[in-house]
Amino acid sequence: MTASYADVAPMVVPDNLTFADLGVPAPLVSALSVAGVTKPFPIQAATLPDSLAGKDVLGRGRTGSGKTYAFVLPVLARLAASRSKRRPNHPRALILAPTRELATQIQASITPLTDALDLRTMTIFGGVGHGPQITGLRKGADIVVACPGRLEDHLKAGHVKLDAVEITVLDEADHMADLGFLPAVRRILEATPGNAQRLLFSATLDAGVDVLVQRFMTDPVTHSVDSAQSPVAKMTHHVLHVQADSRLPVLVDLTAAPGRALVFTRTKYGAKALTKKLIAQGVPAVELHGNLSQGARTRNLEAFGNGTAKTLVATDIAARGIHVDDIALVIHADPPIEHKAYLHRSGRTARAGAEGTVVTLMTDDQVRDVRDLTRKAGIAPKVTKLTTGDPLLTKLAPGERIFVEPPARAAQPERDTVSAGRGSGRGSRRRGGSQPTKQRSGGQGTGGQRSGEGGAAKAGRPARGGGRSKSASTPKTYSTSTPGSATRTAGAAAFSAGSRAGSSRRGR
């Protein structure tokens, strides 16, 4: 019979329900308490009794619903109770994830718990060398968190054997289908014992995922905590109808507000280009897309997570599995093509019961597409036609607009001239005209002519700072006199992260 979520009602968790009530072993309950996790989320309360009992479970919950602990806890409980021992190249549990970022996040969630149980875990994914992974497998790992492609490479090379796997988890199975990983997933599952427990978590149950369910799961118990297309209740949706030339100033206005913002583009080139433009306007931003090396992706995520860069510009690679708390604003700079992508992108805010705002920028030629997109996503956004400086921007992203100038690079030759319109971040430069000393001492700028570049500054854009010292200095911040207005503080210089890790590149 084909598995379905259609008739599964949402679950309300009683206030006094604990992990111990759900059957989680005492050592894990204690480890969770140390980590500050005491109350189960609905997806955990729904699935844990069955998964801890050894049943195959098919669970659906959107990003931010608490799915990670829903499958991590039964994995750890099973291994802790098992009499089998750790062996080289023979993991006892396997967790498959579609992206490197998600695998890394799962590993981070597991580590405090595995330490308490004396279990060993490791990650396997592409973009990094094979050597350390081969060494880790030889030493023996109880749990392997892996992306399908690299794991299959190791499987074919004989570096790992899956015949000792007792429990397998597929996280974000629908995303693995979207990325074309299902053939590899099928081959990997065929290498695990047929009687092993299997847990599959997916935001939707498309045909490709259903094939896996039918082929590899035995009488799965199905749980869902919300409708496959229902938006989060505490998430507000807005569509801003803008002219093409207002798109960047509006983005600058929104992202210069306090708090984290996640901005989505359709293409890798678009993410890189938009990041550079935001940086050139004084907004600390980093990028995340498939063209970056694993090291750059990790540094950029760290910069976004620790607040060094409060804006992350990403392709859909970040829509799943990037667990960064307190993302107050998600912006679709490029509306996605599919409604599922809209919901997954938007799910990065309003996580775990928090509130969040989702903004979609729409130009004249996108009106029909955005209308169809939101209808299929099951939302009714407020549509507003506006331009730069509209007071609504301050309501959507409250707070004083802050622009940042990073430390200047040392030992760079000065240049007598600079072409207008090019980003900073190329070392120290000497510009004509007066220096913005008043702004640096706290005075408010006029938003007028750029120093030494000629011509009036465009409305809605912070003017760049004047001459820089060749020695390193502390980053400077500049604030607007009236948040949301078209006129901004002069002197806000570029926060140049290049194509890599924002401020971390500056500090190397």
pLDDT score for 63: 60
In the numeric block, which tokens belong to residue 358? 């989702």
pLDDT of 177 reads 84
pTM over 0.85: no
Amino acid sitting at position 107 = Q
- Half-sphere CA count of 394, side-chain side, radius 13 A: 14
pLDDT computed for residue 226 by the predictor: 58
What is the structure's pLDDT at 295? Answer: 85
Q: Using the 8-state DSSP alphabet, how is residue 419 labeled?
A: -
Determine the pLDDT at residue 474: 43
What are the start and end residues of each CATH 3.40.50.300 domain in the chain?
Answer: 26-224, 235-396
Find, among 413, 418, 399, 506, the residue nearest to 465 by Cα: 418
CB atoms inside a 10 Å sphere around CB 480: 23
With CA atoms as reference, report the closest residue to 44 among 138, 28, 34, 131.
Answer: 28
Helices 339-346 and 367-377 pack at an angle, to 10 degrees, of: 70
Tell me which residue of 372, 330, 340, 338 sits closest to 227, measured CA to CA.
Answer: 340
Q: Encoding tokens for residue 12?
A: 């309300």
Return the DSSP state at 36.
T
Calculate the alpha carbon distances from 128 to 98, 156, 298 in Å: 16, 18, 12
Q: What is the pLDDT of residue 179?
A: 80
For 305-352, the DSSP string reads: HTTSS-EEEE-GGGSSS---S-EEEEEESS--SSHHHHHHHHTTSSGG
Fold of 26-224: Rossmann fold (3.40.50)
The matching CATH number, chosen from 3.90.1010.10, 3.40.50.300, 3.20.20.70, 3.40.50.720, for 235-396 is 3.40.50.300
What stretches in the chain show pLDDT beneath 70? 1-13, 62-65, 207, 226-234, 318-323, 350-354, 406-508
- Residues 74 and 167: beta-carbon distance below 8 Å: yes
The mean of the pLDDT values for the chain is 78
pLDDT of residue 469: 38
| Alpha-helical regions (H) of 347-436 | 367-377, 391-396
Q: 44: Cβ–Cβ under 8 A, 6 or more apart, which residues?
A: 19, 22, 66, 69, 70, 73
Q: What are the Cα distances from residue 13, in Å, to 16, 17, 66, 225, 371? A: 8, 7, 13, 11, 35
Side chain identity at 479, as an amino acid letter? S
Tally Cβ neighbours within 10 Å of residue 12: 9
Q: Which amino acid is at 305?
A: G
What's the pLDDT score for residue 101?
A: 84
SS3 302: helix
Q: What is the spatial distance between Cα 44 and Cα 65, in angstroms, rounded to a whole number?
A: 9
